[in-house]
């Protein structure tokens, strides 16, 4: 399944629950989605709060999935082609020089 298909699956879920309705208590605005994305990313960190090792790989996978779903939805709601944006960023980073690389060159 590619990014577009995953986005379609995510949109179907959101529509099913009525969250695209502006009067929904879980209105899917860019602001709300960005906040939710950040909160879910913080939950990823909780798995490493007191240990270098994952104690519950399944729960960790669930948190990564939550982050991914919010990212897909935020891109969709904002009209961003996430696949294109990712490919563009990878291309930019091939040419990018980070400060530590400039010092050692």
| pLDDT value, residue 58 | 97
Instruction: Determine contact, residues 28/74, Cβ cutoff 8 Å.
Output: no
- Report CA 89 to chain centroid distance, whole Å: 15
- Which are the contacts of 102, defined by CB distance < 8 A and separation ≥ 6? none
Q: Does the pLDDT value for residue 3 go beyond 60?
A: yes
Q: Is the pLDDT of residue 26 over 70?
A: yes
pTM (2 d.p.): 0.86
Q: How many domains does the chain have?
A: 1
What does the pLDDT read at residue 104?
A: 59
Looking up tokens 């986005």 gives 7
Measured CA to CA, the distance from residue 41 to residue 26 in angstroms comes to: 19
Q: Is 22 helix (H, G, I), strand (E, B) or coil?
A: coil
Residue 70 lies in domain: 3-104
pLDDT reported for residue 42: 97
- What is the CATH number for 60? 1.10.287.1080
- State percent of the chain over pLDDT 70: 95
Mean pLDDT, the chain, whole residue set: 93
Give the pLDDT mean for 1-17: 95
How confident is the model over 54-104, as pLDDT tens digits?
999 999 999 999 999 999 999 999 999 999 999 999 999 998 887 876 665
């Amino acid at each position: 399944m590619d990014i577009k298909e995953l986005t379609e699956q995510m949109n179907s879920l959101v529509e099913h629950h009525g969250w695209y309705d502006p009067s929904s208590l879980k209105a899917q605005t860019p602001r709300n989605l960005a906040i939710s994305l950040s909160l879910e990313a913080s939950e990823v960190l909780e798995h490493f709060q007191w240990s270098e090792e994952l104690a519950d790989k399944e729960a960790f996978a669930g948190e990564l999935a939550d982050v991914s779903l919010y990212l897909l939805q935020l891109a969709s709601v904002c009209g961003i082609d996430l696949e294109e944006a990712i490919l563009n960023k990878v291309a930019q980073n091939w040419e990018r020089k980070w400060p530590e690389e400039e010092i050692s060159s």
